Amino acid sequence: MPAADSYEWRTAPCPECADPAARLVPGDSDRADILLCTRCPAHGRLPYCDPAVIRARLPLGVVLAMCDGTLRIGIPAAPHGLNTYTRSVVTLATEHGLLPVWRPSVRRHRVILAAPGPEGAWGWMEVGARSGRILRATIYPHGCSASGIRAAGPRDVRQLVASLSVPGSVAGC
C-alpha cells in the first residue's frame, strides 16, 4: 500500500455531466450508498450518482476517499525528474479534463490519460525516465470507439493535447 503522500488529491469528477465545477456529496436521504452531484441538475440530469459507476469510469490506480463531505480521488503522484515542459503538458492535459495516472518505470515512464465520462478522451504518453522528456503519445479523442491519434516528440504531443476539447465548453447538450 503506497503512502498517502504518493497521491495527488483532487475533487472527484462526475461521470454523468463531466462538469469541472461538479462536486459529489453524500445524499441526505437514507440511501448512504448514493452520491449527489451538485451540477447534474444544471445539465438536465438526475443528481444521483452510483459510486460503482464512478469507480468503473476512473482509470485503474486511482483511489477514492470522502474528505470534508466531498468525494475526492487520489491520483498516483508523478515520478521525480520530469522536465518543466513535460510537467506543463501534463498540467495542460489536466486542464482538458484528463486524469494523469503515472506508471513509473526504470527506462520509460508511462502516464495514462483518461477523461471521466462515456465519450471521454483516453490515451497514454511515454516519458524518458532519465531525460524526463516526452517521447510519444497516443490519444483517442472520442473514447475507444473512434480512432486514435499518435504524436512523437514533446512539441507534437503538446499540440495533440491542446487540440482536445475542454469539458464544460460544449454548449447546448
Whole-angstrom Cα distance, residue 164 to residue 158? Answer: 10
Contact between 71 and Zn ion per CB under 5 A: no
Choose, by CB under 5 A, the member of 7, 12, 13, 16 that binds Zn ion: 16
Please give the distance of CA 17 from its chain centroid, rounded to a whole number.
14
Whole-angstrom Cα distance, residue 92 to residue 95? Answer: 5
**Closest residue by Cα to residue 134 from 74, 81, 75, 59:** 81
In this complex, which beta carbon is closest to Zn ion, that of residue 22 or of residue 127? Answer: 22
- Please name the amino acid found at residue 36: L
In this complex, which beta carbon is closest to Zn ion, that of residue 17 or of residue 161? Answer: 17
Options 17-25, 101-109, 130-138, 158-166: segment touching Zn ion (CB under 5 A): 17-25
Contact between 99 and Zn ion per CB under 5 A: no
Contact between 40 and Zn ion per CB under 5 A: yes
> Per DSSP, what are the bridge partners of residue 108?
128
At closest approach, how far in Å is the CB of 17 from Zn ion?
3
Whole-angstrom Cα distance, residue 85 to residue 59? Answer: 24
In the numeric block, which cell numbers belong to residue 51? Answer: 459510486
In this complex, which beta carbon is closest to Zn ion, that of residue 14 or of residue 82? Answer: 14
At closest approach, how far in Å is the CB of 161 from Zn ion?
24
Kind of pairing between the strands at 48-49 and 35-37: antiparallel
Choose, by CB under 5 A, the member of 7, 13, 22, 93 that binds Zn ion: 22
Choose, by CB under 5 A, the member of 35, 36, 37, 90 that binds Zn ion: 37
User: Where does this chain bind Zn ion (CB under 5 A)?
Assistant: 14, 16-17, 22, 37, 39-40
